[in-house]
Structure 1
Amino acid sequence: MAEVFFWCAALALVHTYFFYPLSLFALEGMAQVFQNMRRMRSGGTVQASVPAGPLPSVSLVVAAYNEASCIEQKLQNSLALDYPADRFEVVIGSDGSTDGTDGLVQQCTDPRVRLSPAPRAGKTTVLNRCIPSAHGDIVLLSDANTMIDPDAVRKLVRHFEDPEVGAVCGKLRLYNPTKQDYEESAYWSYESLIKMYEGKRGSVVGANGGLYAIRRSLFTLLPPSTIVDDFVIPLRILESGYKVHYEETAVAHEETTEDYGKEFGRRARIAAGNFQSLRLVPGLLLPTAGFPAFAFWSHKLLRWCAPALMVAAFVANLFLLDSAFYQATLLGQTLFYALAYLGRAGVFKSGVAKRVSSVAYYFVTMNMAIAVGFWRFLRNSQRAAWDRTARVASSTTTT
């Protein structure tokens, strides 16, 4: 029985972190082969692209709570985006800001900017209010502290020429003003790669909250208690049968945090919201959903089970020490956790050892945050409204 537990846990972990990405790479490789075969059968001709139609109207919606330190920069960045002025608007949904955010938005004289203030109720309530009232056919969602590249909007909306596309996720680049290498960067690059290949299948599981676009007509009101709106909104669109693409050349930039305590709280909050989302997108749990269900189970559900799987693999391994093989697997697990501890302690100051130990530490703390988030989910103690993680240059908050 211990052996069964060990292998079930180990294979599940290996699948979600290694086999699933490899399956995405293999599927894309096969798709390229079939595409080349069809081109050869047709005489090697390349089908002419369909001329692009008129650009759709776009509404950039930003939920903001006490963003006085960055809202002016966000407005400047938004109004500088390369998109026709007569087809673009910026909606700032203020969630009961008390630091002068509303006044700063009102000082902007550009007619494309619109303020939608209301008492504090949480980001989900802001989106439920602002998205249906937006004028654009396409709604672009972003955070107040996220700066978008000028050409990103055009690159996102071009996907909507396909009527089967319901949402498009952009690429969020995280940066740290004081560190060139930091723990989250390696994992974020890995996650972005998975999203890119999921996008080739039209099945991106969740979006980067800093930059993604949806068809306004596909938005459905969220329960006010929804914690991770940027996860649930694209999943609902995917569940309804539309494609969710990923556009790696549509880039936005966001600063990471130096406060690891608050960052751990952010991850735990997201984890609680992830477990909450299961009842909001039940269709993706069924095999009848096809590849989106496979992606949801492989990329998300098994990841959320990783803390329990890690414990199960370690404990089961303790009952299998009569074999040299299992002695080696236990040693490997112990060394990994020891490496994570060394990463936390900062024993290695530079080089490969520092990077590897930092990634191990990040991986362990990430899964500890998932466990905490699951506990909060069970107790229903995670509120929807929250305070933004403080950044190096700012200590303000958002929803």
Structure 2
Amino acid sequence: MGTTPPHRRISSAVAVGSLAAVAYTHVGYPLAMRFAARRRAGGPPPLSIAPLPTVTVVVPAFNERRFIGQKIADTLAQDYPAELLDVLVVDDGSEDGTADVVRAAAQEFPCVRLVQQETRGGKSSALNRGVREATGEVVVFTDANGSLLPGSLRAVVAPFEDPRTAVVSGTKKPVGSGAHGDGESAYWRLESGLKAAESVFGVVVGADGGIFAVRREAYEPIPPGVYADDYWIPLAALDRGYRVAHAPDACAVEAVSLTKRDDFERRARISAGIWHGSLAKLSLADPRRGWVALAFVSHRCLRTGVVPVLLPVLLGASGRAAARHPGMRALWWAQVACWAAAAGGATTNSKALAIPYQFALTNVAALRGGFRQLSGRQTGLWKRTSRGRWT
């Protein structure tokens, strides 16, 4: 009986190590965090805060004429006391008459205000401007192209009952069908569950741009060059010792991108921002930061920066070792089947292939975003993607 060649032994070791990292990131860490959260939690999160804080809802907008009127109406329809609420739309150099719609709404509703930036500065610039103009104790950021479910404002301010909390993330509820829509819905359900577990320890490493809130007095302006505001703001708060929480009942309904190409480009831009923020805030990985370090490394650094690189390594290494190891052969074929299913989901948009499609999309987009960030090709100006209406 011959011995296994050294290069195949090395390939097997690389495959096993890569598989362990992938399994820990996507299965081990979420399960461990949920188990730890159940043991730590002393009861349900607060459903209300008394007295209610004043709230400024900031809506950054670039060419959002199609959505902005409904967005204002939707926000004003929230069950939040009118005397404690104002809505501030920051028009970032729109060219489609967005500002005209907001002006008309402001004439009807005094709590609606318009701030115009004549020169387009990007979303981070618009958020900074919004906070400077805000009067509320809590500032809620929400995208123009999504609808807030009833009760979302009350839900997103409730965790601020803890004075150590500086940022609270809501969650996204995508609307769409097939591999594209169902895959994104599944992703956000899993993501919201993990954030809820991290929230018990105050270490939610990222917010959702559809709806998240900041304590105005704790807000640190986003520096130039940052283009993933909903990632940077929570990291900056954690870096300064604040808690970041999650409010699962604060929900923004948003239609998925009309095309898979648009969705891929959006994911790549988000991933580039995560790469940028992670590299800038690597000090959060210091083990002395405890739960912060665990969440930062496991949820973001490994998921976006390491695992996408390891997936092709895993495929190649298991393929090289497959000739002599039945286990490696089975592992290789399992990966081939998953990637084939993902390709089928992209081609047919079959609901049955939603999970492999979403997994492949997320990881390939992370590679693309990482390349853009490291090569300096990512711009800070956000690009609107084509979307249907949320209703």
Distance apart, 1:68 and its partner CA: 0.6
CA distance in 2, matches of 1:111, 1:337: 54
Supply the AA of the counterpart residue of 1:316: A
Aligned to 1:368: 364
Q: Do the aligned partners of 1:336 and 1:360 also contact (CA within 8 Å) in 2?
A: yes
The yes-or-no answer on 1:74 pairing with 2:71 is yes
Distance apart, 1:393 and its partner CA: 4.5
CA distance in 2, matches of 1:234, 1:17: 22
* 1:206-248 C-alpha deviation (Å, 9 max, x unpaired): 0110111111112112122211101111121122111111111
Q: State the identity %.
A: 34
TM-score, normalising length from structure 2?
A: 0.90
* 1:151-181 C-alpha deviation (Å, 9 max, x unpaired): 2212221221211111111122111279996
* 1:1-25 C-alpha deviation (Å, 9 max, x unpaired): 3233222211110011000011012
Distance apart, 1:193 and its partner CA: 1.3
Aligned to 1:26: 35
CA distance in 2, matches of 1:177, 1:324: 38
The yes-or-no answer on 1:320 pairing with 2:321 is yes
Aligned to 2:16: 7
Supply the AA of the counterpart residue of 2:336: T
Q: Helix, strand or coil: the match of 2:114?
A: strand
Structure 2: 5+ residue stretches without partners: 1-9
Q: Helix, strand or coil: the match of 1:319?
A: helix
Q: Helix, strand or coil: the match of 2:78?
A: coil
The yes-or-no answer on 1:297 pairing with 2:317 is no
CA distance in 2, matches of 1:255, 1:89: 25
Q: Do the aligned partners of 1:64 and 1:144 also contact (CA within 8 Å) in 2?
A: yes
CA distance in 1, matches of 2:276, 2:49: 40
Could you tell which deviates more after superposition, 51-60 or 76-85?
Answer: 51-60
Aligned with 1:89 (options 83, 86, 90): 86
Q: Do the aligned partners of 1:59 and 1:135 also contact (CA within 8 Å) in 2?
A: yes
Supply the AA of the counterpart residue of 1:106: R
Q: What is the root-mean-square deviation of aligned Cα atoms in Å?
A: 2.2
Q: Helix, strand or coil: the match of 2:72?
A: helix
CA distance in 2, matches of 1:342, 1:158: 43
Relative to structure 1, the CA distance from residue 217 to residue 27 in structure 2 (aligned partners, 3 Å threshold; closer, same or farther) is same
Q: Do the aligned partners of 1:239 and 1:289 also contact (CA within 8 Å) in 2?
A: no
Structure 1: 5+ residue stretches without partners: 37-48, 395-399
* 1:122-169 C-alpha deviation (Å, 9 max, x unpaired): 111111222122111110000001111232212221221211111111
Relative to structure 1, the CA distance from residue 159 to residue 29 in structure 2 (aligned partners, 3 Å threshold; closer, same or farther) is closer
Could you tell which deviates more after superposition, 125-134 or 178-187?
Answer: 178-187
Q: Do the aligned partners of 2:61 and 2:89 also contact (CA within 8 Å) in 1?
A: yes
Supply the AA of the counterpart residue of 1:382: Q
The yes-or-no answer on 1:213 pairing with 2:213 is yes
Q: Helix, strand or coil: the match of 1:203?
A: coil
Alignment of 1:165-314 (within 5 A): 165-176=165-176, 182-304=182-304, 305-314=306-315
* 1:16-54 C-alpha deviation (Å, 9 max, x unpaired): 10000110121123225xx59xxxxxxxxxxxx9x9542
Distance apart, 1:199 and its partner CA: 1.4
CA distance in 2, matches of 1:162, 1:88: 21
Supply the AA of the counterpart residue of 1:377: Q
Aligned length: 374
Distance apart, 1:276 and its partner CA: 0.7
CA distance in 2, matches of 1:229, 1:301: 17
Aligned to 2:375: 379
CA distance in 1, matches of 2:355, 2:258: 16
Alignment of 1:339-350 (within 5 A): 339-346=341-348
Relative to structure 1, the CA distance from residue 161 to residue 361 in structure 2 (aligned partners, 3 Å threshold; closer, same or farther) is closer
